[in-house]
A and B are shown apart, each in its own frame.
Chain A
Amino acid sequence: MDVPNNWLQIAYQYGVGGVFFAVTLWLCFYQGGSKISNPEDRKSLIILLGGYFGYLIFNLAWAYLARF
């Protein structure tokens, strides 16, 4: 019997969800709704990217550590 794992789910969630995340983030800046030159918008961009990768790392780490 296969040992359950989460690798495909993580790839799908952060792949498909990531495309939506990246496209909408890009559109917000590209269309001028937010500006890199604005400190508040820049801070939001950093938190958004940090949150994305933070959640991704958390999920990867959990998927690995859950076996122990």
Chain B
Amino acid sequence: MGTRLDYFIIVLYFIFIFGFGSMFAGLTRNTQEFFFAGKRFNWWLIAISCISVTVGSYSFIKYSEAGYLYGLSSTQSYLNDWFLMPLFLLGWMPIIYFSRVTSIPEFFERRFDRKTRLAGVLVLMIYMVGYIGINFYTLGVAMNALLGWDVYRSAVLVAIVTGLYVTFGGQAAVIMTDLVQGLLLLIAGFVLFFLGIHYLGGFGNFWNNLPLSHRLLFSGFNEPADFPFVGIFWQDAMANSMAFYFMNQGLIMRFLSVKSVKEGRKAGFFVVLALMPMAALAVANAGWLGKAMVGAGLLPSDIEPKKVFVVVSNLVARPGVFGLIMAALTAAMMSTVDALINAVSAVSINDIYRPFLVKNRSDKHYLNMARIFSIGASLIGLVLVPVFARFETIYKAHATFTAAITPPMIVAIILGILWKGYTPLAAFCTLIFGTLAMFLSIKFPILVYPFLHGMELKGASFMRALFGLVVCTMIGILVSLFSKPRKEEEIKPLLVSGIEKAKEWFKGGKSNDQEFGEELLLELEEGEKSHAEIHPEDMALLKALSGDLVYIRDSRRWVLGLLGVHAKISPGAEKGKVFLSPELIKEGQLRPGQMVKVEKIM
């Protein structure tokens, strides 16, 4: 399978990604930049990189299989995230951004106590390292099926490339390579769809050869047992998507890298409204095409569903295009794993190494250790590949794993930000006893029986998420009724009700976000004060007051806004100019005399 041209494209792609990712080593001078890229990113960069976190290498195989068996309803899990957006975009994201929370365990310590942080570290590390292992494994399986490469060797090759550019480039490399990889996987998915439609003789033939059940966007309410609507709703929308937005450290670090919460909200809206539907089409269409081809007599009806992505890609892709599709599959995997490697490194440094093991060392020391932890995370992921290889199917391995881990963390986070009466002891019990309950329900599926919605007991793996959410919420509420909450003033910036306070804390003064003026093009000059000086008339155009926070960035388009710095402003003497101290100029990697764009943040 695959021609020399295909192999050439794949190798070229590996070299390009490694080189491109390593270019961003210059933007990574301290741990803040290694993990959060200095809070510089535009909304669209973050949005596209979020998609590449969502779409893993397993996605093409898993959703094409579902698309072949159940049709367009394979898109369900990509199109049901909207319900989570109010709490994520108006609650959780502003809280972690303004409170400068760097990880979920850190949130747990500041909101609850140290033992809850440790419990959080444990659960989160299991979740993330396991996720890396699953991705390495599924890519190996895909490479094996498509190119005949050995599963483990494929995983090792990808681990080396990904581990290296994350190690040197940090979060900036992760986001920028994900931009390329996100676009590539969408383009490859669309190209495959276009070629498939052409192969079938047009869209009319594609549509007419799909049975009605395959044209619908939802599967049966509580059947089939392998893909019931209600199971997908609770497992994918309410548990896995919640985990993705609220506790996936990789995604959270994306949103902490945006230059403002306003940009983060734009990114969130764009992801769910535009990019998720596009990604759903990209990852599942090989299955729909396969079903239509069987209907049209172009493929035998006994085709193995889990191989439909491979079969259809081989059938419709021309030399070179097949290489592009393989590169996209690799891109999907690398872009999911790179975020997780960086995230594991962040949790290792910020939640284990710095607070407990080696305190009060220089930032350079922690940056070097972060790089070592990145390599360690890749190695542990590789060690887990044979473990996941023991599961019956990739889907089962993935679903069993995520649905068992996520509900306790989700409930602890949501109750923690919405209810000031949720106590530290209750949060700790939610994590420990909730996780225990989840594993008990795997051993004794009968526990899930009351939540089955008329499904056979086989559907317990789907409804375990609802079971977990209910049990964990009950634990949280009951324990809170009999234990003591923390004083509200201690935890206020970590509650939805305290976002205004968190904004003040972030800015170091009262927030001014009632009005936003235009973005100004000004000339940068070296100044003496520790903040930016801007002429009062320019401040009026920005609709900014003295003490407001602005973002000053290199005006050249190709820099994508990545060279820049946040600063407070005060009235300056010259119109059309902005004065910055040498330290701020250095921090933003700017040059005196160049034109910069200035926009008000808050």
A: residues with CB less than 8 A from B are 3-6, 8-10, 12-13, 16-18, 20-21, 24-25, 27-29, 31-34, 37-41, 44, 47-48, 51-52, 54-55, 59, 62-63, 66-67
Inside 8 A of B94's CB, which chain A residues have their CB? Answer: 33
How far is the CB of B249 from the nearest CB of chain A, in Å?
22
Q: Are A24 and B91 in contact (CB under 8 A)?
A: yes
For the complex, what is the distance from the CA of A61 to the CA of B478, rounded to whole Å? 43
Q: Are B418 and A6 in contact (CB under 8 A)?
A: no
Q: Is residue B226 within 8 Å, beta carbon to beta carbon, of the partner chain?
A: no
Q: Are B500 and A32 in contact (CB under 8 A)?
A: yes
Which of A27, A31, A39, A47 is within 8 Å of B515, CB to CB? A39
Interface stretch (choices B150-158, B209-217, B390-398, B556-564)? B209-217
Q: Are B220 and A4 in contact (CB under 8 A)?
A: yes
Kindly report which residue of chain B lies nearest to residue A49, judged by CB atoms: B86
Inside 8 A of A17's CB, which chain B residues have their CB? Answer: 80, 82-83, 233, 237-238
Kindly report which residue of chain A lies nearest to residue B265, judged by CB atoms: A44
Q: Are A25 and B82 in contact (CB under 8 A)?
A: no
Inside 8 A of A41's CB, which chain B residues have their CB? Answer: 90
For the complex, what is the distance from the CA of A21 to the CA of B272, rounded to whole Å? 14
Q: Are B418 and A9 in contact (CB under 8 A)?
A: no
For the complex, what is the distance from the CA of A53 to the CA of B514, rounded to whole Å? 27
How far is the CB of A13 from the nearest CB of chain B, in Å?
6
Q: Are B418 and A27 in contact (CB under 8 A)?
A: yes
- 6 further A-B contacts with Cβ under 8 Å, apart from A13-B80, A17-B238, A48-B85, are A4-B213, A13-B218, A28-B87, A28-B90, A59-B217, A66-B215
Identify 10 residue pairs between A and B in the complex whose beta-carbon atoms are under 8 Å apart, listed by A's number: A27-B87, A28-B496, A40-B265, A48-B86, A54-B273, A55-B82, A59-B218, A63-B216, A63-B217, A66-B212
Q: Are B79 and A55 in contact (CB under 8 A)?
A: yes
Which of B86, B217, B262 is within 8 Å of A24, CB to CB? B86
Inside 8 A of B497's CB, which chain A residues have their CB? Answer: 31-33
Q: Is residue B513 within 8 Å, beta carbon to beta carbon, of the partner chain?
A: yes
Kindly report which residue of chain A lies nearest to residue B495, judged by CB atoms: A31
Inside 8 A of B272's CB, which chain A residues have their CB? Answer: 51
Inside 8 A of A47's CB, which chain B residues have their CB? Answer: 269
How far is the CB of B201 from the nearest CB of chain A, in Å?
19
Inside 8 A of A33's CB, which chain B residues have their CB? Answer: 90-91, 94, 496-500
Count A-B contacts at CB 8 Å. Answer: 116
Q: Are A38 and B513 in contact (CB under 8 A)?
A: yes
Q: Are A28 and B262 in contact (CB under 8 A)?
A: no
Chain A to chain B: the 10 pairs with minimum beta-carbon distance, closest first: A9-B218, A25-B86, A17-B83, A31-B497, A33-B496, A24-B87, A28-B90, A66-B215, A33-B499, A21-B83
Q: Which of A9, A27, A59, A63 has its CB near the most chain B CB atoms (within 10 A)? A: A9
How far is the CB of B123 from the nearest CB of chain A, in Å?
23
Inside 8 A of A24's CB, which chain B residues have their CB? Answer: 86-87, 91, 418
Inside 8 A of A54's CB, which chain B residues have their CB? Answer: 273
Inside 8 A of A62's CB, which chain B residues have their CB? Answer: 216-217
Q: Are B90 and A39 in contact (CB under 8 A)?
A: no
Inside 8 A of A9's CB, which chain B residues have their CB? Answer: 218-219, 221, 229
Contact with A along B62-93 (1 / 0, CB 8 A): 00000000001000000110111111011100
Inside 8 A of A59's CB, which chain B residues have their CB? Answer: 217-218
Inside 8 A of B498's CB, which chain A residues have their CB? Answer: 33
Q: Is residue B176 within 8 Å, beta carbon to beta carbon, of the partner chain?
A: no
Q: Are A51 and B273 in contact (CB under 8 A)?
A: yes
Q: Are A4 and B513 in contact (CB under 8 A)?
A: no
For the complex, what is the distance from the CA of A27 to the CA of B90, rounded to whole Å? 10
Kindly report which residue of chain B lies nearest to residue A28, judged by CB atoms: B90
Q: Is residue B134 within 8 Å, beta carbon to beta carbon, of the partner chain?
A: no
Inside 8 A of A4's CB, which chain B residues have their CB? Answer: 212-213, 216, 220
Q: Which of B82, B238, B273, B500 has its CB near the most chain A CB atoms (within 10 A)? A: B82
Inside 8 A of B499's CB, which chain A residues have their CB? Answer: 32-34
For the complex, what is the distance from the CA of A4 to the CA of B499, rounded to whole Å? 46
Q: Are B229 and A52 in contact (CB under 8 A)?
A: no
Q: Is residue B550 within 8 Å, beta carbon to beta carbon, of the partner chain?
A: no
Q: Are B513 and A51 in contact (CB under 8 A)?
A: no
Q: Which residues from 494 to 521 on chain B have a C-beta closer than 8 Å to any C-beta of chain A?
A: 495-500, 513-516
Inside 8 A of B215's CB, which chain A residues have their CB? Answer: 66-67
Given A17-B233, A55-B79; A39-B218 close (CB under 8 Å): no
Inside 8 A of B90's CB, which chain A residues have their CB? Answer: 25, 28-29, 33-34, 41, 44, 48
Kindly report which residue of chain B lies nearest to residue A17, judged by CB atoms: B83
Given A3-B212, A10-B218, A27-B418; A16-B233 close (CB under 8 Å): yes
Inside 8 A of B212's CB, which chain A residues have their CB? Answer: 3-4, 66-67
Q: Is residue B166 within 8 Å, beta carbon to beta carbon, of the partner chain?
A: no
Q: Is residue B197 within 8 Å, beta carbon to beta carbon, of the partner chain?
A: no
